[in-house]
Amino acid sequence: MSSKTVYPAKLEGSVRVPGDKSISQRVAMLASLADGTSKVTGYLMGEDAKSTLSAMEQMGAKAEFKDDALYITGVAGKLQPPTEPLNMGNSGTGTRLLAGIVAGAGIEAAMIGDDSLSSRPMGRIRHPLELMGASIGLTGKRGTLPMMIAGGNLKGIGYLLPMASAQVKSCVLLAGLFAEGKTTVVEPRPTRDHTEKLFEALDIPIEINGLEITVEGLGKDGVHFKARDFVVPGDFSSAAFWIVAVAARPGAELTIENVGLNLRRTALLDVMKRMGADIEVTVTEAKGDPIGNLRVRGAQLKGTVIEGDEIPNLIDEIPIICVAGALAEGETDVRDAAELRVKESDRIAEMVKNLKLFGVNVEEKEDGMVMTGPTGLKTPDVVIDSHGDHRIAMSVAILNSFATEPITIDKVDCVDTSYPEFWQHLEQLGGKVE
């Protein structure tokens, strides 16, 4: 595992973040199921997206990179059973969504992952898939990987999600494509809707009525839809690091180009504007998942409360929001975010620990934290352990850009799961990394 030493710096300029991780993985799965060859522009070459693509290749899809695009030739709904376990690396999204596809496809497969993924809960997908008729075996402690799946002959169900989770929702909807009859998922709160938008783009029958989503299963006729071309926008969750780095520094300016602006992903913009950030949004493509440019101007931020319905739509951004909270005037209170404790690390505990090391006044809560600022950050004389969590590593790097001395962050290989160009872009915007 490698480490990076990051120096304090004023970050500003222009950046184009890599392709969206959530969309890339969904495109890999659906293009692999399609009939024909899909051209995918902007596919993320992070480790999570590569693991998902490799798993689809193990089950018969063909993938080739050529002329800055990815070409995926699908199996027309007829997946082949893999001869080896599907190694999903660190990808929770890939694992949970692909479990729905495998369960529906009538094949048997084993799914494994790295130590971090193997500690994350999978019982939340086992329950609905077994209700549909699949057999799901979880051999890890506390309902975790490795996972054995034997599917086929699924029946459509109505399922009320016990938590707001786009991954569980998508898992059930994807399984529902193969089922007999209709499958309906009801969400307690709105979550990211990339799966639904891709279904619509592929002319897959789907009905959306508020928080109720229904797909018509194709049953014994099999999954059949034609290949099409896809353009993956820049990942808003990756852009979030630069948004906070500049928004919290008066006098700094930043332009982010070609970033995804799906309203179920951009709740961070609402939070930052409540905190006093100066952010200008220009939409350049409105169809499907909107795409556009952001212009950010730095200002003195003020504290706010982040809670309730907005949490599922910024769950990945909360670690970097904590950086904004440390620099803002007054209290910033994060609530209703207990899901952070079962991510790649316990992100509540890790961010509280790291903020305290930098001198931030922060109180840990069961479902979040309260920060009181602004804090004159002081670089701690310790090496920061990322615990293999890409969002912790990148958030600490941005936090230290406001501090006094260089900091060393350990186990930063994890950043490659979502943002392989992060360190390069940090230097491009004025930072120094060794």
Please identify every residue annotated as catalytic.
316
Smallest Cα–Cα separation from 351: which of 402, 317, 314? 317
What CA–CA distances, in Å, run from 326 to 13, 251, 275, 318, 408? 23, 18, 12, 12, 20
330: left (phi over 0), alpha (psi -120 to 50) or beta: left
| Cα–Cα distance, 374 to 29 (Å, whole number) | 44
Q: What residues contact residue 89 under an 8 Å CB cut-off, 6+ apart?
A: 47, 48, 50, 51, 113, 114, 117, 417
Q: Is residue 105 a contact partner of residue 152, using CB atoms and an 8 Å limit?
A: yes
Helix (H, G, I), strand (E, B) or coil at 166: helix
96: left (phi over 0), alpha (psi -120 to 50) or beta: alpha
Residue bearing tokens 């495109």: 27
What CA–CA distances, in Å, run from 366 to 123, 143, 350? 22, 22, 13
Residue bearing tokens 């930072």: 431
| Cα–Cα distance, 363 to 372 (Å, whole number) | 9
| Cα–Cα distance, 26 to 11 (Å, whole number) | 32
| Cα–Cα distance, 361 to 377 (Å, whole number) | 11
Pairing state of beta strands 212-216 and 182-186? antiparallel
What b/e readout covers 6-17, taking b as 16+ CB neighbours within 10 angstroms?
A: bbbbebbeebeb
The two tokens of residue 209 are 């009525």
Smallest Cα–Cα separation from 170: which of 146, 152, 194? 194
What b/e readout covers 269-286, taking b as 16+ CB neighbours within 10 angstroms?
A: bbbbeebbbebeeeeeee
Q: Is residue 269 a contact partner of residue 279, using CB atoms and an 8 Å limit?
A: yes
Q: Is residue 360 a contact partner of residue 377, using CB atoms and an 8 Å limit?
A: yes
